[in-house]
Structure 1
Amino acid sequence: MGRAALADIKGKDFSELAKETKTNTEDTNKVSNTNKNRSTTTSDSSRKKSRRRPKKTTMPAAVMVSPVQRLFDTCKDVFALAGTGIVPTPDKIEQLRAVLDQIQPADVGLTPQMPFFSLPVTRRAPPITYLHIHECEKFSMGIFCLPPSGVLPLHNHPGMTVFSKLLFGTMHIKSYDWVVDVPSNASAVVPPSQTVQHPEVRLAKVKVDSDFTAPCNASILYPADGGNMHCFTAVTACAVLDVLGPPYSDPEGRHCTYYFDYPFTKLSVDEITVAEEEKDKYAWLQEREKPEDLAVVGAPYTGPEIVEN
């Protein structure tokens, strides 16, 4: 309602009140006594009504749940039965994916201007910053912050279901799944420099080999599908929110293994044939030690706090 309409209503009330007052001035004493009686009656009535009227209760305002709190609560539900090799049901997978897809950098306290997204000039391999949000025996939540050219080398996620949400920037992801129908007596000749420590290689198939730019949907990998071994390379400064269920655990056999990957055509292989046009979709993976130039440093998570209820 506009100001003019409100003023018109008030004007009408005031004129009616003035007219009523003029009419009642014919007998001043009568009006005085009448008003006195009215005042007493009204006062008594008001006190009675006041005693009878129940007190109004003020309902508490709805508590706003932060996106990261919603993510935590959803993870508790989705990974309630988490264990090595246990994959949540499809409806639970979609439930968690939907929550992740809504999260923005500001929801977890991130901006691209933060110092750990800057490329240092004193190191060959730029350090990667990890922001720890939460970890329990069922799942973990954290953010990897990569400056330009930062690399998380090829590694696995044994028995785990992993959700990765690119929050901002552009990242190249290359991932593999093991080929399970390789003859047991198949072998490959690996480079001599790698034979002493890790002579065995295993055939894998490329699952993803593409650039991703935010905003984009969360990606999901499973214990035996979806690209369980993957490598992240930052094309620009970028951040990726990772949810792992269950998390890494050496005592339970879920330890992180790193790999070299060799093109399919680089190694001589017995009893394995692949169509010429398919050869670039396969590679040989070989276990390796943790790369010496990999630098992952921790930093405090500064986003909204999580209430563990």
Structure 2
Amino acid sequence: MPPASTDANNAIQKLYDVCRASLSEKGPLSPRDSLDNVRAALDMVTPSDVGLEREAGAECASFSIGMFCMPASSIIPLHNHPGMTVLSKVLYGAAHVRSYRWIESAGSSINLSKARPAKVVRDGEMSAPCGAMVLRPEEGGDVHALRAITPCAILHILTPPYSSQDGRHCSYFRRRPRSHPSGVLLNRTGGSEFVWLEEYQPRHNFIIRRDLYTGPALKL
């Protein structure tokens, strides 16, 4: 792989520096301004800036920066980002994103330990070139799945990052039949789709590989 150019180094370093200044171990320092600054820096990153052929990542206590390179038709299954803000940008190619928001069931006698109702908040395509997508925990959408329509690369920032010791571990979910054992039927109402999601353990051979960052060096 040829050495990264000075411009590429500057673009990635600027993104990292903006993240350092805007994100804390609890997420964005300012819900709007901080995210706007990070998104603006992320929007300036191009495929040539990262110069990657595979996944990559850089991480600290406040955020992580990573990339997924996905073959056509490959899938990142439905998973969550508990209490985390997610910024994603498709650098090349196209991907389909489907995300959900949990529906509160106050006063309900339904046991939600294994299944919970959720509402679709995003169901569409992201194609490069495009701006960054932001998923905020207070707005929903922190449970989502990605499917590569074409070969694609997605650069993403998580703040704060996954941390099992802080209760932010990745869980996977699947849809239950529309008719739930409780007798409640949730379907399309008023243009919104409601579904039941249950947590499950993927097969033992399921893995999403995370390699070392091989792009421009960062000044930590």
Considering the TM-score relative to the shorter chain, is it more than 0.5? yes
* Aligned residue runs from structure 1 range 1-309, under 5 A: 66-79=10-23, 81-83=24-26, 88-110=30-52, 114=53, 130-132=55-57, 134-186=58-110, 200-262=114-176, 265-270=178-183, 277-278=189-190, 281-292=193-204, 294-308=206-220
Decide whether aligned partners of structure 1 residues 183 and 261 sit closer, same or farther in structure 2, where only a CA change above 3 A counts.
Answer: farther
TM-score of the aligned structures, taking structure 2 as reference length: 0.86
| AA of the residue aligned to 1:210 | G
Decide whether aligned partners of structure 1 residues 283 and 150 sit closer, same or farther in structure 2, where only a CA change above 3 A counts.
Answer: same
Q: How many Å separate the matches in 1 of 2:86 and 2:43?
A: 14
Which protein has the larger Cα radius of gyration, Structure 1 or Structure 2?
A: 1
Query: CA shift at 1:258, angstroms?
Result: 0.5
Contact kept? 1:187, 1:269, Cα under 8 Å: no
Contact kept? 2:19, 2:63, Cα under 8 Å: yes
Q: How many Å separate the matches in 1 of 2:125 and 2:203?
A: 23
Q: How many Å separate the matches in 2 of 1:274 and 1:258?
A: 21
Q: SS of the counterpart of 2:14?
A: helix
| RMSD over aligned Cα atoms | 2.5
Contact kept? 1:82, 1:88, Cα under 8 Å: no
Query: CA shift at 1:294, angstroms?
Result: 2.9
| AA of the residue aligned to 1:285 | L
Q: How many Å separate the matches in 1 of 2:188 and 2:48?
A: 47
- Structure with more helix by fraction: 1
Q: SS of the counterpart of 1:153?
A: strand
Higher relative contact order (CA 8 A, sep 6+): 2
- Structure with more strand by fraction: 2
| AA of the residue aligned to 1:74 | V
Decide whether aligned partners of structure 1 residues 220 and 87 sit closer, same or farther in structure 2, where only a CA change above 3 A counts.
Answer: farther
Query: CA shift at 1:276, angstroms?
Result: 5.3
Sequence identity (%): 37
Number of corresponding residues: 214
Q: How many Å separate the matches in 1 of 2:11 and 2:216?
A: 9
| AA of the residue aligned to 1:91 | D
TM-score of the aligned structures, taking structure 1 as reference length: 0.63
Query: 5+ unaligned residues in a row in structure 2: which ranges?
Result: 1-5
Decide whether aligned partners of structure 1 residues 294 and 236 sit closer, same or farther in structure 2, where only a CA change above 3 A counts.
Answer: farther
